[in-house]
Structure 1
Amino acid sequence: MTITQLQYVLAVAEYRNFTLAAEKCFVTQPTLSMQVQKLEDELDVRIFDRTKKPISITEAGEKIVQQAKNIVNEAARIKDIVDQEKGFIGGTFRLGIIPTVMPTLLPMFLKTFIDRYPKVQLIIKEQNTEAIIKNLKEGHLDAGIAATPLAKDFLIERPLYYEPFVAYIPAGHRLAKTDKLRPEDLDLNDILLLQDGHCFRDGVINLCKASGQGNEERFQLDSGSFETLVHLADESLGMTLLPYLHTLVLDEKRKKHLRYFQEPPPAREVSLIYHKKELKHQISNALRDVIAAIVRGAIAFQDVEIISPALSD
């Protein structure tokens, strides 16, 4: 039994296809199939049921796959320990970023980070919070950037910045002439929201409910784009709320429609999150330092009121 064989087993278990698993492992399909077969012969048990499409995992295979995850992850930590002891900042680092953060944050820090740490190979994936949590738990990601708190026992959350909510209010709207907004001015029936699954949407709904404005929106919108919400607001279909960093990329004409909240403004906490067992601390620390330093200069707000990204019961 080898670590490589276990890695091949995990790939087949994930993709339920030998050809695709081989591609992901950068080997030929016959090589991968032979090694998996070899392991099954050694253990004298079938891990996969090849008679089904897609391939299924046998009952014994489920237990083997779970143990293989533990072994492969622990084996990978040996190199992490050595790197940490040497203070080496390099190697592969898989980072998940939520969709409402990635478009604005990534261009701000990526070039600085890769210039400063050229030996780090960043693999960046845009994923929602639920997917990031799942992939951190299963070892598919080294870290994530998401709105917190998430209250997961196995995660460490290290705040990067606090991003205020800003209202985008078109001309003619009932709040268009309001200088400084209060949460109680909001009406959920009047706010254009992102589609379900976005934590920023949940934060806006929580903000409205906290101020006693818990109505449902007039129509359902299946969009994950703040740009779409702004366009719809321009058509007088309502107002919307934006994360502060997103407002920095608006043109000057649209910036005239921005309205800020009274101090302290409602805000979301954006954090670098990773598993408690994660050992790539030298890369996590470097990433956090770069992002925090850059964003600190972009967001001048000091006191904020943190809005939970998850809906309250």
Structure 2
Amino acid sequence: MTITQLHYVLAVAEHKNFTLAAEKCFVTQPTLSMQIQKLEEELDILIFDRSKKPILLTEIGTKIVAQAKNIVNEANRIKDIVDQQKGYIGGEFRLGIIPTVTPTLLPMFLNNFIHSYPKVNLIIEELTTEEILTKLTNGHLDCAIAATPLENENLKEIVLYYEPFVAYLNDNHNGIDKKEIEVNDLEFDHLLLLQDGHCFKNGILNLCKNNKFIAENHFQLESGSFETLIRLVDEGLGVTLLPYLHTLDLNEKSKAKLRQFTNPKPAREISLLYSKNELKVHIIDALRNTINGVVRGAIAFHDVEIISPKIKN
């Protein structure tokens, strides 16, 4: 039995196809099949039921895959242990980020991070919260940045910052003449949101339900980007809420339509997520310190009271 054979087993278990698994492992399909067959012969069992389409695990195969994940993960961490002991910050590091954070946070810290830690090969994926949870569980990500809390007992959450929601109003809204507004100043039956699949939408729904202002079916108009929502508001079709960092690059005309909320300000909690078994904590600490160094100056809300809704995808 070899680590390589276990890698091949895990690939087939994930993709449920020998050809696709071989492509992901960068080997030929006959090579991968032969190595898995050798392992099955050694153990005198069948790991996969090849008569099914897609290929399925046998009962014993399911147990073997669960153990194989532990073995492969621990084997991969040997180098991490050595690097951590030596204080070396480098190597491949896979980071997932949710779409409503990527366009604002990534440009703020990426340049600083790659210059400060040039030996880290940072591989970044933009993923939904659900995709992040799956990839963290399967060991395909080292860390992620997402809206929390997620209350996943297998993950650690380190809060990076709290990002306030800011109202973007049309010229006819009653709150346009106020310097600050309250949550119940909004007309929730005209609130424009991102489409399904965005955790930002779910955060707003949680905020609204927690304050008992609306029911979910009052939301009638959704879009796929904040830019589209802003244009819809400009056309007088409703109001929207924006994460504070998304408002920094708006033009002056658009900024005039922004209204902050009175205390306690509604906000979302943005955190680093990683497995409790993760050993690349030295890189995670470096990432956290880099982000904290730039985001604190951008969000000057440390002395205000906020509401952080429980955001789930």
Shared topology, TM-score over 0.5?
A: yes
Aligned position for 2:46: 46
Query: Whole-Å Cα distance in 1 between the matches of residues 34 and 14 of structure 2?
Result: 18
Q: Is the 8 A contact 2:192 2:223 kept in 1?
A: no
Query: Whole-Å Cα distance in 2 between the matches of residues 17 and 271 of structure 1?
Result: 35
Partner deviation per Cα, 1:157-182 (whole Å, 9 max, x = no partner): 11111111101111112322222011
Return the offset for 1:66. Answer: 1.1
Q: CA RMSD in A?
A: 1.8
Pairs within 5 Å for 1:16-165: 16-165=16-165
Larger deviation: 207-216 or 11-20?
Answer: 207-216
Aligned position for 1:305: 306
Pairs within 5 Å for 1:149-228: 149-216=149-216, 218=218, 220-221=220-221, 223-228=223-228
Query: Whole-Å Cα distance in 2 between the matches of residues 224 and 66 of structure 1?
Result: 38
Q: Is the 8 A contact 1:186 1:213 kept in 2?
A: no
Q: Is the 8 A contact 1:136 1:143 kept in 2?
A: yes
Larger deviation: 236-245 or 142-151?
Answer: 142-151
Return the offset for 1:260. Answer: 1.0
Query: Whole-Å Cα distance in 1 between the matches of residues 118 and 222 of structure 2?
Result: 39
Return the offset for 1:93. Answer: 1.1
Name the TM-score, length of structure 1 as normaliser.
Answer: 0.93
Q: Is the 8 A contact 1:188 1:217 kept in 2?
A: no
Q: Is the 8 A contact 1:165 1:241 kept in 2?
A: yes
In the alignment, structure 2 segments of 5+ residues that lack a partner are none
Q: Is the 8 A contact 2:190 2:219 kept in 1?
A: no
Q: Is the 8 A contact 1:187 1:215 kept in 2?
A: no
Q: Is the 8 A contact 2:194 2:222 kept in 1?
A: yes
Q: Calculate percent identity across the aligned residue pairs.
A: 65
In the alignment, structure 1 segments of 5+ residues that lack a partner are none
Larger deviation: 185-194 or 7-16?
Answer: 185-194
Name the TM-score, length of structure 2 as normaliser.
Answer: 0.93
Q: Is the 8 A contact 1:183 1:207 kept in 2?
A: no
Larger deviation: 52-61 or 100-109?
Answer: 52-61
Q: Closer, same or farther in 2 for the Cα pair 1:192/1:241, shift >3 Å?
A: same
Q: Is the 8 A contact 1:190 1:217 kept in 2?
A: no
Return the offset for 1:56. Answer: 1.9
Query: Whole-Å Cα distance in 1 between the matches of residues 70 and 173 of structure 2?
Result: 56
Partner deviation per Cα, 1:115-168 (whole Å, 9 max, x = no partner): 211111112111222222232223221111111222222221111111111011
How many residues are aligned here?
Answer: 311
Pairs within 5 Å for 1:289-304: 289-302=289-302, 303-304=304-305
State the one-letter code of the partner of 1:75: A
Q: Is the 8 A contact 1:191 1:217 kept in 2?
A: no
Q: Closer, same or farther in 2 for the Cα pair 1:220/1:34, shift >3 Å?
A: farther
Query: Whole-Å Cα distance in 1 between the matches of residues 8 and 284 of structure 2?
Result: 28
Partner deviation per Cα, 1:220-247 (whole Å, 9 max, x = no partner): 4453421221122122111000000111
State the one-letter code of the partner of 1:307: S
Partner deviation per Cα, 1:169-221 (whole Å, 9 max, x = no partner): 11112322222011222232121112233222122122223333123455544
**SS of residue in 2 equivalent to 1:176:** helix
Aligned position for 1:279: 279
Return the offset for 1:7. Answer: 0.5
**SS of residue in 1 equivalent to 2:205:** helix
Q: Is the 8 A contact 2:144 2:274 kept in 1?
A: yes
